[in-house]
Amino acid sequence: MGDGESAKGVERECKPGQAPRCPSVSPSAQPGTHPGQSQLFADLSREELTAVMSFLTRQLGPGLVDAAQARPSDNCVFSVELHLPPKAAALAHLDRGSPPPAREALAIVFFGGQPQPNVSELVVGPLPRPSYLRDVTVERHGGPLPYHRRPVLRREYLDIDQLIFGRELPQAAGLLHHCCFYKRSGQNLVTVTTAPRGLQSGDRAAWFGLYYNISGAGFFLHPVGLELLVDHKALDPARWAIQKVFFQGRYYESLAQLEDQFEAGLVNVVLIPDNGTGGSWSLKSQGPPGPAPPLQVHPQGPRFSVQGSRVTSSLWTFSFGLGAFSGPRIFDIRFRGERLAYEISLQEALAVYGGNSPAAMLTRYIDGSFGLGKYSTPLTRGVDCPYLATYVDWHFLLESHTPKTTRDAICVFEQNQGLPLRRHHSNFYSHYFGGLAETVLVVRSVSTLLNYDYLWDMVFHSSGAIEVRLHITGYISSAFLFGAARRYGNQVGEQTLGTVHTHSAHFKVDLDVGGLENWVWAEDMTYVPTPVPWSPKHQMQRLQVTRKLLETEEQATFPLGGAPPPLRVPGQQSQQQVGSPAGLPHPAAQLCWGATAAEQLLGESLQLGEVSGGVFSLAN
């Protein structure tokens, strides 16, 4: 059976000697209707992106360069995406029938050609025919954005590779021929970037590790032991330089110095075999295919529908989208017609590494700076999502003058969990069984950031619960194994260390339970020593509920590594006059989350000032 759409689930009487009879209940095949305002939160279409780019080209003048070819000293449009409407205006439209807020785009522009190079954020509207442009940089960030903070363009990465392979590596050709089967053009090697790009504000220098270019089989597992610190802050790539060299456990001032010491016999070189394209690290199956796996089907057709960015079923309605940098997000989430949340969205993902090579020990990836939506990937039917899922394309304008499309970037599907939502079988006093199958509605996207693939799920349960899930797969990151490397991970190859690391994902949850006026109660359990009422000379540990109203944002903020209690968020219609949530009628929301033992360590690392918002399990 299905979910709450099949009103009573399964109930039957059990009589000795008789087979049970199960009534046939037909679930509703009508997924519901879409409201007229369903596209309020829709990502920009190709036509809208094209219109914005044309408008910016006219407004910003002939000096604008296509970001795909732009050098640091050029002006270019880095990205264009939806500028989310103000919440008050959106709710006035959704709930009170006011005119919809103007549809707008947010453009990030690199002004490298100005006397004071900077990064600016510009709002363009109204769409689909823009007529105004508004600079919101100071409004959003409190001041101008320094140019050195800009994300790295693909063109900049190509110029860094040209510096490394064209100008620098030939200076150590003898050593590289000896250790790493070096070819003059470096075609058998690739570089992998790290972050952050420096040790203090104003820096723009990053360590790049070199790996064998194992085609189609995960080069991340094949470091050769060479890492280069590249200073690429100057606007002229000709002024970029290698600041430091690390090779197989030792530091050098330059590749020329490394080559000189190698020729003098002062470098102990570990030969790293180039293993080509085969091996167990390949994702290709090593054996014949087995029997086909099981599939889920829709006996009476799908019980939900997708129209543009709006999903509708008989239980749930919501809008979905992808932020170019922040990733998946959902808006106006309603259960049985009642709004539970205005927004639930991914905001950031972090990965912190450790090691004894410079790249491994320094790396703290802030994945939003690369782009959790930008690096979303096409979803493969039957692997990433069920065959019968609904697949949605995503249009974007990033590092280009023209829009592009990621096919099947988002999938929506309903799934039987293989567990009952509730069930009971009674053999006491009376004999009966009742149960209800648990099905969920899922919105999924996948972001591939370098070696890792992040599977993001927004899960809508038939009980009214909303769950966010992250599943991480792909390849591990690795470094050259030397010295005390095993303190920082596990040996995964003859000279390869799988580096220790931890991940953290940060979500925004804007609950509107029964209205906009919500508050938070912390609910927990504790044991209280209590005399036994009928035998006072004995004591017992009695379990009871503790409740505390969290009156300030500081009280409702919990550092990483702690154990935040479950939080209850009553709606404004459910508060009792005595100020206690006990016995509250719905609507109310319960917040629960999973945690890892690495959270406290992550918090300690991030407290160094790299990501101030990353040190809390929950912040308001």
* Positions marked active-site: 367, 452
In this predicted structure, what is the pLDDT of residue 287?
80
Q: E strands within 50-153? A: 75-83, 104-111, 118-125, 132-135, 145-146
- The whole-angstrom separation of Cα 243 and Cα 231 is 6
List of domains in the chain: 46-149 (3.10.450.40), 154-264 (3.10.450.40), 304-515 (2.70.98.20)
Distances (CA, A) of 200 to 150, 152, 183, 197: 15, 18, 36, 9
In this predicted structure, what is the pLDDT of residue 1?
37
Distances (CA, A) of 350 to 115, 118, 200: 34, 26, 19
- The whole-angstrom separation of Cα 468 and Cα 111 is 38
> Any idea which residue has 């959270």 for tokens?
599
- The whole-angstrom separation of Cα 334 and Cα 463 is 13
Of 29, 40, 511, the C-alpha closest to 307 is 40
Of 615, 613, 610, the C-alpha closest to 199 is 610
In this predicted structure, what is the pLDDT of residue 6?
42
- The whole-angstrom separation of Cα 186 and Cα 318 is 50
Question: With contact defined as beta carbons under 8 Å apart, do 352 and 364 qualify?
Answer: yes
| 3-state SS class at 153 | coil
Written as six digits, the tokens of 606 are 């991030």
- The whole-angstrom separation of Cα 176 and Cα 185 is 12
pLDDT digits (tens, 9 = 90+) for 176-211: 999 998 877 668 899 999 999 999 999 999 999 999
Which parts of the chain register pLDDT below 50?
A: 1-30, 574-587, 597, 606-608
Number of H helices and E strands in the chain, helices first, is 9, 32
In this predicted structure, what is the pLDDT of residue 51?
98
Question: With contact defined as beta carbons under 8 Å apart, do 229 and 358 qualify?
Answer: yes
Question: With contact defined as beta carbons under 8 Å apart, do 353 and 369 qualify?
Answer: no
Name residues whose C-beta falls within 8 Å of residue 171's C-beta, 6 or more positions apart in sequence: 254, 255, 256, 259
- The whole-angstrom separation of Cα 155 and Cα 399 is 9
- The whole-angstrom separation of Cα 505 and Cα 594 is 11
